[in-house]
A = this chain, B = another copy of it.
Amino acid sequence: MTQAPARPHRVVIVGAGFGGLEAAFGLKGAPVEITLIDRRNHHLFQPLLYQVATASLATSEIAWPIRYLLRDRPEVTTLFANVGGVDAANKRVLLDDGGSVPYDTLILATGARHAYFGHDEWEPFAPGLKTLEDATTLRRRILVAFERAERETDPEVRAALLTFVVIGAGPTGVEMAGTIADLARDTLPRDFRHIDTRMARVVLIEAGPRVLPAFPDDLSAYAQRALESLGVEVVLGQPVTECTADGVVYGGNKLAARTIVWAAGVRASRAAEWLGAPADRAQRLQVEPDLTVPGHPEIFAVGDTVTIKGPDGKQVPGIAPAAKQEGRYAAALIKARLNGETLPPFRYKHAGNLAQIGKRLAVIDFGWMKLRGALAWWIWGIAHIYFLIGLRNRIAVALNWLWIHARNQRAARLITQGSSKVAQ
Is A94 positioned at the interface, with any CB of B under 8 Å from its CB? no
B414 engages A59 (CB within 8 Å)? yes
A82 engages B420 (CB within 8 Å)? yes
Which residues in B have their C-beta under 8 angstroms from that of A396?
A: 396, 399, 411
Which one, B39, B59, B72, B399, contacts A392 given CB within 8 A?
A: B399
B423 engages A82 (CB within 8 Å)? yes
Is A65 positioned at the interface, with any CB of B under 8 Å from its CB? yes
Nearest B residue (CB) for A80: B147
Which residues in B have their C-beta under 8 angstroms from that of A417?
A: 133, 417
Given the known interface contacts A72-B190, A147-B41, the answer about A424 and B97 at a Cβ–Cβ threshold of 8 Å is: yes
Report the bound CA distance from A80 to B194 in whole Å: 13
* Shortest distance from the beta carbon of A365 to any chain B beta carbon, whole Å: 33
Is A143 positioned at the interface, with any CB of B under 8 Å from its CB? yes
* Shortest distance from the beta carbon of A224 to any chain B beta carbon, whole Å: 32
Q: Digit string of A411-424 for contact with B (CB within 8 Å is 1, else 0)?
A: 11111110110011
Which residues in B have their C-beta under 8 angstroms from that of A415?
A: 40-42, 80
A414 engages B63 (CB within 8 Å)? yes
A191 engages B413 (CB within 8 Å)? no
Is A68 positioned at the interface, with any CB of B under 8 Å from its CB? yes
* Shortest distance from the beta carbon of A177 to any chain B beta carbon, whole Å: 22
Is A409 positioned at the interface, with any CB of B under 8 Å from its CB? yes
Is A366 positioned at the interface, with any CB of B under 8 Å from its CB? no
Report the bound CA distance from A95 to B150 in whole Å: 15
Which residues in B have their C-beta under 8 angstroms from that of A193?
A: 74, 77-78
B395 engages A41 (CB within 8 Å)? no
Is A58 positioned at the interface, with any CB of B under 8 Å from its CB? yes
Is A151 positioned at the interface, with any CB of B under 8 Å from its CB? yes
Which residues in B have their C-beta under 8 angstroms from that of A72?
A: 190
Report the bound CA distance from A403 to B414 in whole Å: 24
Q: Digit string of A87-103 for contact with B (CB within 8 Å is 1, else 0)?
A: 00000000011010000
A423 engages B39 (CB within 8 Å)? yes
Which one, B74, B136, B143, B147, contacts A416 given CB within 8 A?
A: B136
Report the bound CA distance from A80 to B424 in whole Å: 9
Is A349 positioned at the interface, with any CB of B under 8 Å from its CB? no
Which residues in B have their C-beta under 8 angstroms from that of A191?
A: 65, 67-68, 71, 78
Is A60 positioned at the interface, with any CB of B under 8 Å from its CB? yes
* Shortest distance from the beta carbon of A235 to any chain B beta carbon, whole Å: 31
B413 engages A41 (CB within 8 Å)? yes
Report the bound CA distance from A422 to B413 in whole Å: 27
Report the bound CA distance from A159 to B151 in whole Å: 52
The 19 listed contacts between A and B (C-beta, < 8 Å) are A41-B143, A41-B414, A41-B415, A42-B413, A42-B415, A59-B414, A60-B413, A60-B414, A65-B414, A68-B409, A72-B190, A77-B194, A80-B151, A96-B424, A132-B414, A133-B416, A136-B416, A396-B399, A399-B399
Other A-B contacts than A80-B151, A82-B423, 12 sampled, CB-CB below 8 A, are A40-B415, A41-B143, A41-B419, A58-B60, A58-B61, A60-B413, A77-B193, A80-B147, A81-B151, A81-B424, A392-B409, A396-B399
